[in-house]
Structure 1
């Protein structure tokens, strides 16, 4: 009967596990993330999600350093530890590539900004450099969407917990089940936040929203239509010359630069914390 209960609890990371004193801290951090991830998929909410993941992994690091956590995890030789190591590696790869994409986006946005400023000062002159910068940005965005979709595919391969764990000792089972559930929830919420970010880059969610809006409101005004897009897609429209003055383009470039800077910073911080978490997992296995 005890083993049947354990199996049911392991099958779904979305269901609350039996509480254990050692997991109270990380469960509190996970509950905070649950609130953050229920907000809309705007650039601001995604930034909040990435910042929240940084804090969550700080808590995870403390959790993995606890003697009680290390004891039950080092004694476990199930697929769970392989699952955690594989998941941590995939998350690191997604985070690293995403960070590099933001660095490159920042470079392209600054390049276009510089050309817009020079064109404003020189009047008619400077058109060639501006066209080159625009062409470079448009080509990069096309490649970014492809890369984001590849990373989305990789995120789907991350195992957030489908296996069950059995142990003859009921007391050890309770503790290990609580640890496994907590760690799987950390991976699950990480995947959820990173998927939102990647969908933001690829335009997947905003495209769906735009199509739905066009069906419901065919005579929608231009400003309302722009509201259905994310920051990057709004900039894409502005760069392609859709109803946007040069001053308007400059303003959108500045707004996007701020968002990109936030993404860069948070992805870099998250990547470093993911490295530390993986190191802690390897350290537990080696002992």
Structure 2
């Protein structure tokens, strides 16, 4: 998995830097101040903070120095364009994961409310969907290291575009890790944490992990089968409580990702337009 490269400050720029460069630098620093952004509220806050960052990025792309640098340097243009594609991929991965979990939560809630017979079949479908989401996220994050790059252009506005991209990637990585977390103490979380470098999992509130724990999610198929049989004899009230808590969490994160996806598409279009000037 790509390392979560949180820093106390982003790249340092000289005092005579363009004001927009300083503004982006400040926004990036704010996003990176909280290293352990491992709750749904903190991640939603970071997603909302990206609105200010993209507002400045739009202005930066309108500067003649930025446009000239991208138009005259094909390698630099390709780097920035590939960066926008990287963000699109991560946004779509997060969007698909949240959408799939939202559907699975609704189906399991409906089954618990009906309470017709056991819940083994419905629970198994939820866990299967959960495993598929985790695998898709792990696959997306594993490919991040080879795709990350540092700007080869020494124009500060272009370098800051790459810095802003890096900050957005970190927020999306944090979100994907949050969605895929089963438990800070579980073996499945350790599989995720092995893909990280210099970053230890921190036990924090996680609505996804709460549902997994109430369903006794486990990597062993045999153990899952035994636990599911045990679950059918329970009232399902604990599971229902955690599912109710998870619903608004998914909704908030989904709204943030959908907004971000639209902005990434808009920014990518702006980059392409610069090349056509």
Calculate the TM-score normalised by the size of structure 2.
0.76
1:51 maps to: 48
1:250 maps to: 240
2:130 maps to: 141
Helix, strand or coil for the counterpart of 2:147?
A: coil
How far apart are the structure 2 equivalents of 1:206 and 1:51? Answer: 26
Calculate the TM-score normalised by the size of structure 1.
0.74
How far apart are the structure 2 equivalents of 1:105 and 1:256? Answer: 10
Contact 1:200 1:206 in 2 (8 A): no
Q: 1:22 to 1:58 in 2, by over 3 A?
A: closer
2:58 maps to: 61
Shift of 1:22: 4.2
1:200 maps to: 178
Q: 1:247 to 1:208 in 2, by over 3 A?
A: closer
2:113 maps to: 117
Q: Which moved more, 1:199-208 or 1:88-97?
A: 199-208
Shift of 1:28: 3.1
Contact 1:26 1:63 in 2 (8 A): no
Which residues of 2 match residues 180-195 of structure 1 at below 5 A?
A: 180-195=158-173
How far apart are the structure 2 equivalents of 1:254 and 1:31? Answer: 34
Shift of 1:46: 1.8
Shift of 1:255: 0.6
1:100 aligned to 2:76?
A: no
1:131 aligned to 2:120?
A: yes
Shift of 1:23: 2.1
State which of 35, 39, 44 in structure 2 corresponds to 1:38: 35
Contact 2:39 2:205 in 1 (8 A): no
Structure 1: where are the runs of 5+ without partners? 1-12, 120-125, 166-172, 212-226
> What is the number of residues matched between the two proteins?
240
Helix, strand or coil for the counterpart of 1:137?
A: helix
Structure 2: where are the runs of 5+ without partners? 1-8, 191-202, 217-226
Shift of 1:207: 4.9
How far apart are the structure 2 equivalents of 1:93 and 1:205? Answer: 26
How far apart are the structure 2 equivalents of 1:81 and 1:286? Answer: 12
Contact 2:112 2:240 in 1 (8 A): yes
How far apart are the structure 2 equivalents of 1:92 and 1:164? Answer: 22
Helix, strand or coil for the counterpart of 1:38?
A: coil
2:70 maps to: 73
Shift of 1:39: 4.1
Partner deviation per Cα, 1:149-197 (whole Å, 9 max, x = no partner)? 0110232233241x544xxxxxxx6xx2x11221111111111111111
State which of 271, 274, 277 in structure 2 corresponds to 1:284: 274
Helix, strand or coil for the counterpart of 1:58?
A: helix
Report which of the two structures shows the higher radius of gyration computed on alpha carbons: 1
